[in-house]
Amino acid sequence: MSITYLEAIREAQARALAEDPRVFIYGQDVGAFGGAFKATKNLAQEFPGRVIDAPISEDAIVGAAIGAAVEGMRPIIEMQFADFSTPGFNQIVNHAATLYWRTQVPCPITIRLPSGGTSGSGPFHSQSMETLYAHYPGLIVMTPATVEDAYSMLLEAVALDDPVIFCEHKLLYNHLKAESLPTEAVPVGKARLARPGRDMTIVAYSAMVHEALAVADELASEGTEVEIVDLRSIKPLDTDTVMASVARTGRLLCVGESWPWGGVTAEVVSRVACEGFGLLDAPPQRLNAKDTPVPYHPNLWAAHRPTARSIAAAARRLLRI
Amino acid sequence: MSITYLEAIREAQARALAEDPRVFIYGQDVGAFGGAFKATKNLAQEFPGRVIDAPISEDAIVGAAIGAAVEGMRPIIEMQFADFSTPGFNQIVNHAATLYWRTQVPCPITIRLPSGGTSGSGPFHSQSMETLYAHYPGLIVMTPATVEDAYSMLLEAVALDDPVIFCEHKLLYNHLKAESLPTEAVPVGKARLARPGRDMTIVAYSAMVHEALAVADELASEGTEVEIVDLRSIKPLDTDTVMASVARTGRLLCVGESWPWGGVTAEVVSRVACEGFGLLDAPPQRLNAKDTPVPYHPNLWAAHRPTARSIAAAARRLLRI
Amino acid sequence: MLLARTLDEKFASLYRAGKIHGGVFLGRGQEALSVAVGLNLRKGDVFAPLIRDQAGRLAFGETLLDAARTYLGSALGPMRGRDGNVHRGRPREGYLPMISHLGAMIAVVNGTLLARRFKGVLRTVGATCIGEGATSTGSFHEAINQAAVEKLPLVLVIANNQYAYSTPSSRQFACTSLADRASGYGVDAHSVDGTELAACLSVLAEAVERAREGHGPQMVVARLLRLCGHGEHDDASYVDPRLKASPLGRDCLKVAEQNLLSRQWADAVTIEGWRCEAVHKVEEAVATALREPTPDPYKENWCALASKHLVETHPEV
Amino acid sequence: MLLARTLDEKFASLYRAGKIHGGVFLGRGQEALSVAVGLNLRKGDVFAPLIRDQAGRLAFGETLLDAARTYLGSALGPMRGRDGNVHRGRPREGYLPMISHLGAMIAVVNGTLLARRFKGVLRTVGATCIGEGATSTGSFHEAINQAAVEKLPLVLVIANNQYAYSTPSSRQFACTSLADRASGYGVDAHSVDGTELAACLSVLAEAVERAREGHGPQMVVARLLRLCGHGEHDDASYVDPRLKASPLGRDCLKVAEQNLLSRQWADAVTIEGWRCEAVHKVEEAVATALREPTPDPYKENWCALASKHLVETHPEV
Ligand SMILES: Cc1ncc(C[n+]2csc(CCOP(=O)(O)OP(=O)(O)O)c2C)c(N)n1
Ligand SMILES: Cc1ncc(C[n+]2csc(CCOP(=O)(O)OP(=O)(O)O)c2C)c(N)n1
Ligand SMILES: [Mg+2]
Ligand SMILES: [Mg+2]
């Protein structure tokens, strides 16, 4: 048996629905149709009345989820694309994220964002929005890079008492496969050592973990051992694991698929610079997408985001310093 | 004669309206009423038909500004509070910010955001949203800290061919005064040395510049000379001026009023760490607001944001390292 | 509504005395409408009031002390000084605390009603109030349409008080009456003169009843005039004097009193007694709140997550 | 509309052949409505089409080459490979390129009309199209209300094609007809059978004319059925067969042809000739676009600002 990242997301939702009567799913085309990416395939049939098609009203979708959560439900919201969460942005950051702090009443909603670039998708179906949501207090932001994490973190997202932004990468949906679903998992908030190495640390998350792993393979054949830290969740961000890795390697390259101003790479690098300055044998480095919208054409798209190639170049440069 | 930060904003708009027939102002209560903060006082009377009251429709307000800009106008949008730009977020980041890149047709709109915390305003009338807008490609983000900059940068914002997010700090509106309006100005994109010093650099922007200046006074009396860099615009961010200062002082503390995850302090610190690692004699440091919504009560509010007191403590600690 | 007016006036005078941090927003002229909403709801119903709903809040069961504590920043209030003035509620009791972004509460009420449907809780309704200005928000539209599609027992009360801050209705919408919007959503509409308590009570009773009986969302549109500034910082000098002189400009409280007197349901002495009682209660609540501790930043846990183990710690200074 | 259908079909076959990156979205069944919009606009008017408006685009003056270049990612197209498929336009010519976020174009059209009013340019109109699903967005509401308040010459064309992706209209709104929304905004409403070209032409002519004459926003609601998947990746197996069999399910192109034939305005041979000509033109445009260079990332300036001097440079790797 083999299971994809996308199937893992479906299975996690099926299990959450089966085990917890408080769970329901709400989003555009998630019902009988099974969702734009089929992440809710057959769930409406298996759980009648609990997987609900929404109008094209992201603000009201999130708003209703908040109200349901106040009443003790645990809604899972699917945005059709991460990019379309902007009309729901206000309810997410100003309502869901502030509710617990203001009232001590938890707001357990999970918002699934099909994220990240795929070739030919263009500026409005490719965005990585984790930075925006991580900036606001009151939200947890998960960025699973593996089939196992897609499954176990989504279950944990639903179980947590806080609003969770669940960034699932569209490029991994069907390409990434595992043998089976995990039976146990690293808890949310802990990063994962995706590959041990002693010469430098690459910190990555979501799809970029796989680009980084390819680089590690490549550099290994040249005798360089790259350690890869998969952040898993970017808020909370597991600074300890990052720091421990940098303590071993002395060199840090942080890679993100989002835009260069601010974001995960800025946060990771500045934490290490502030709190682990003495661990660094060389200046830390960042690699991000370019500072333009995500281009439509595959030629441009491939050059816009970091890839194994550009990561390898950055890694080699860092090793030379 | 003496002029406040708020009056400077009004005067800049009056001048823009007078000098350029393409300029108009659109926003809630900006007309006869003169705006919630009186930043457009008398402008509707002085420029009949060019200062227009909008319905409570931030999405449509920004949308209309984009359309007008396409037709060659230069709209100035007032959001009643920065916090209320969230319903207009989508049009700003996905439409205004992408238009030039997609079509080569410029989108010259200025969006004024009355920003930042004031005592007793609470979670929804206190936000600093510069980080969000700086993350997206295609926007310029200005954060004036002085009366002179409020005036000259707003004029430059209107003159620029790109969408500008103009973050004006509400706390400075009436407190900050200057003798007169400037006749020349540092161009946008350049930071300003707000105070020279040799022992450490504090990088700040907007209202935090004044907290930092107070700290510099305090430490000067103890014999420590703090250099203060006022970023003026956070995108573009003048890395050169920051780097030159750190080259002189060897020590960097970056202060921001926004939340701790990501943001200006992360961007500044990580740029210095990546590109100016060798200039640092001690780990760089950041100081941000706490990671909760902005509290209503003055007691909590004063402890939530960085103040001269907490900045001084951070500066002293950094000097001891 | 007398109690609400008395409390509002107390807040206004505390504001003038510099005793209140931030803004003060009154319901002056809107008490009849607001109280009619609160009175027609039952325990178990959901209520999401807005800035001018002191009367509805009290009628729904808010205590004077909750209101005073929030306005005065007592650490013991429901918002513990984290949020203030009209931004208060007790979600566990079906009393939702507004966020400032106009239009945002409607969909949240929808969500509570959806949850009840899931849980099989029947015959509860959710009511929320909004000004005519906020009908221009996208949130308003998405939420009422959502309620209509789900046929939720939502009562959406629109107070057309002629102004949104300084903006007259003519700059806010171009339809004859906002009630004309109802058919475009497929929901029921009710119009009412918001200066007449009796009319408000009966129209709200009908709207709430119809929602409870399963007839789907009910939109109530009331005509009235805001008899105060937008907030107490605003002198409202822009309000058209003709509107003030028109029937819309009548004070619903005075109208109600006149009614009581003319129908001889109460005499002047009784009413004066009620007034004294209201003042007394309000003074008591305010005095209590004023004596109470304000929030202590050193005791504050600065923690926005319920999952305490996932809170990030930032280097202390 | 024949040309649009032919072009759409070409794109569909290129998609099946794996020659197109990303999605392909057809206007099948909506050509009569769409072409009626384009044909009733003049040079100087503004048009913001949506995903199913190939016919309207061509009628408004888009060249086949612009369409082919954008779908095929030619570096010479109006979007130069930065954006693709239906996301194309030439703002300088009043032809606005849609962003994907539904509802966002309406307010932008309003803005162009406001600008013309400022500039004293009279008697131009702005038209934009939208699906019934997108009427549920807050953007739709804010923008049509804005147009009504400003009394702008906006023509808002709603194609109720019964589905938004897989979602039937019953899950999208609860009113009888979307035209019932018009009175709630104070705008004129026009309803039309979208399968009948002649009806579309005359209704759009009237709506555009009324807007041009200063009667404010005009809402046109057309009934029809999407005769394809949401995109070419979608087999639309969820579409109710009864709808397909109903008058809504008629193919507007076939209906128009039948009409021509039965009225003897054209015979089968003539129509076949038109078809051949359309195929020829489409093949030519596609062949040209296919021969052209694709964008070169090394020549790309990666610059999102018009103010080149303010572009941030990031350390090169
Ligand atoms: C989305 C949003 N934009 C702007 C504001 C600022 N604002 C607060 S109250 C108000 C006027 C509200 O008018 P209306 O809805 O008529 O209510 P009223 O004050 O008349 O009761 C405005 C513009 C806001 N709270 N939310
Ligand atoms: C704000 C927003 N949410 C979701 C989407 C995803 N989406 C693209 S097209 C579509 C369905 C549109 O349906 P309708 O408006 O009826 O137009 P049609 O496709 O039927 O022509 C959806 C949900 C989007 N583009 N924008
Ligand atoms: Mg009002
Ligand atoms: Mg449709």
- How many alpha carbons lie under 13 Å from residue B189 in its C-beta half-sphere? 11
What pLDDT, on a 0 to 100 scale, did the predictor assign at position B321? Answer: 85
Report the gap between the CA of C15 and the closest CA in chain B (Å): 12
Decide: residue D245, CB within 10 A, 0-12 exposed, 13-18 middle, 19+ buried.
Answer: exposed
Beta bridge partners, C46, equal: C126
With a 6 Å cutoff on the Cβ, whether A28 touches ligand 2 is: yes
* Span of A183-192, B293-302, C219-228 with lowest mean pLDDT: A183-192
Residue C143 has pLDDT above 70, yes or no: yes
Q: pLDDT digits over D42-89, tens only?
A: 999 999 999 999 999 999 999 999 999 999 999 999 999 999 999 999
Residue C41: per-residue pLDDT: 98
Q: What is the pLDDT of residues A110-146, one digit of tens each?
A: 999 999 999 999 999 999 999 999 999 999 999 999 9
Domains A3-178 and A192-320 share a fold: yes
Torsion, Cα B244 B249 B252 B258, to 10 degrees, reads -70
| CA geometry: angle C247, C252, C257, nearest 5 deg | 115
Beta strands in D199-289 (DSSP E): 218-223
Q: Around Cβ A277, how many Cβ atoms within 10 Å?
A: 17
The verdict on a CB contact (< 8 Å) between D304 and B137 is: yes
Q: Which residue out of A95, A125, A210, A304 is catalytically annotated?
A: A125
Question: What are the residue boundaries of the structural domains of chain A, listed by start?
Answer: 3-178, 192-320
Question: Can you give the pLDDT at residue D314?
Answer: 79
CB-defined site of ligand 1, < 6 Å:
B 28, 56, 58, 80, 84, 87; C 51-52, 100-102, 131-134, 137, 159, 161, 163-165, 226, 230
Subunits with 3+ Cβ pairs within 8 Å of A are B, C, D
Its pTM stands at 0.98
- The pLDDT score that the predictor gives to residue C316 is 59
Pairing of strands A233-235, A140-142: antiparallel
Atom of ligand 1 nearest to the CA of C161: 20
- pLDDT (tens digit per residue) in A18-44: 999 999 999 999 999 999 999 999 999
Q: Which subunits count as partners of chain D given 3+ CB pairs below 8 Å?
A: A, B, C
Per the structure, the complete domain to which residue D45 belongs is given by 2-313
Q: Do the chains contact at D148 and C174, CB–CB below 8 Å?
A: yes
Q: Is the pLDDT of residue C73 over 70?
A: yes
Mean pLDDT value across residues D133-143: 98
Report the alpha-carbon distance of residue D213 to residue D223 in Å, rounded.
Answer: 26
Q: Which fold has domain A192-320?
A: Rossmann fold (3.40.50)
The DSSP code for C99 is P
Residues of C in contact with A275 (CB under 8 A): 315
Ligand 2 pocket member D138 (CB < 6 A): no
| Statement: residue D317 has pLDDT above 60 | no
B87 and D138 in contact by Cβ < 8 A? yes
> In terms of C-beta density within 10 A (0-12 exposed, 13-18 middle, 19 or more buried), how is residue D304 classed?
buried
Ligand found nearest the CA of C230: 1
- Per-residue tokens: A228: 């890869």
**D238 Cβ below 6 A of ligand 2:** no
Q: Which CATH architecture has domain B3-178?
A: 3-Layer(aba) Sandwich (3.40)
Q: In chain C, what residues touch D154 (CB-CB under 8 Å)?
A: none
Residue A20, SS3? Answer: coil
Catalytic-residue membership of A58 = yes
Contact between residue D88 and residue D76 where contact means Cβ atoms under 8 Å apart? no
Burial (Cβ within 10 Å: 0-12, 13-18, ≥19) of residue B218: middle
Residue C313's pLDDT band, with cuts at 50, 70 and 90, is confident
pLDDT of residue C317 exceeding 70: no
The yes-or-no verdict on residue C64 having pLDDT over 90 is yes
CA nearest A318: which of A223, A206, A194, A202? A202
Please return the burial class of A254, using the count of CB atoms within 10 Å of its CB with bins 0-12, 13-18 and 19+.
buried
Mean pLDDT of chain D: 97
The total number of structural domains in chain C stands at 1
- Which residues of chain D have a CB within 8 Å of the CB of B66? 107-108, 111
From chain D, the residues in CB contact with A122 under 8 A are 22, 83-85, 87, 100
Give the amino acid at A283: P
Of all protein residues, the one whose alpha carbon is nearest to atom 20 of ligand 1 is C164
CATH number at residue D162: 3.40.50.970
Does the pLDDT at position D316 exceed 70?
Answer: no
Indicate if ligand 2 lies below 6 Å from the C-beta of D52. yes
CA closest to B104 among chain D residues: D306
Q: Which of A101, A259, A273 sits opposite B293 (nearest CB)?
A: A101
pLDDT band per the 50, 70, 90 thresholds, residue A321: confident
Which segments in chain B show pLDDT lower than 70? none
- Note whether A138 contacts B284, CB cutoff 8 Å: no
Residue labelled with tokens 């007008």: B68
Handedness of CA C304, C309, C312, C315 (dihedral sign): positive
B125 catalytic per annotation: yes
Token code pair at residue B118 = 């004031």
User: What DSSP element (H or E) covers C287?
Assistant: helix C268-291
Residue type at D100 in one-letter notation: S
What is the pLDDT, as a whole number, of residue D255? 97
- Taking 80 as the threshold, does the pLDDT of residue D315 lie above it? no
Residue D80's pLDDT is 97
Q: Give the burial class of C282: count Cβ atoms within 10 A of its Cβ; 0-12 exposed, 13-18 middle, 19 or more buried.
A: buried
Question: Does residue C176 contact residue D186 with C-beta atoms inside 8 Å?
Answer: yes
Q: Which residues, other chains included, contact B106 with Cβ-Cβ below 8 Å and sequence gap of 6+?
A: B69, B99, B100, B161, B162, D306
ipTM of this complex prediction, to 2 decimal places:
0.98
In this prediction, residues D207-221 reach a mean pLDDT of 98
Query: What gap in Å lies between CA C207 and CA C213, rounded to an integer?
Result: 10
Q: For atom 19 of ligand 1, which residue has the closest CA?
A: C164
Q: Identify residue C254 by its one-letter amino acid code.
A: K
Which amino acid, B55?
P
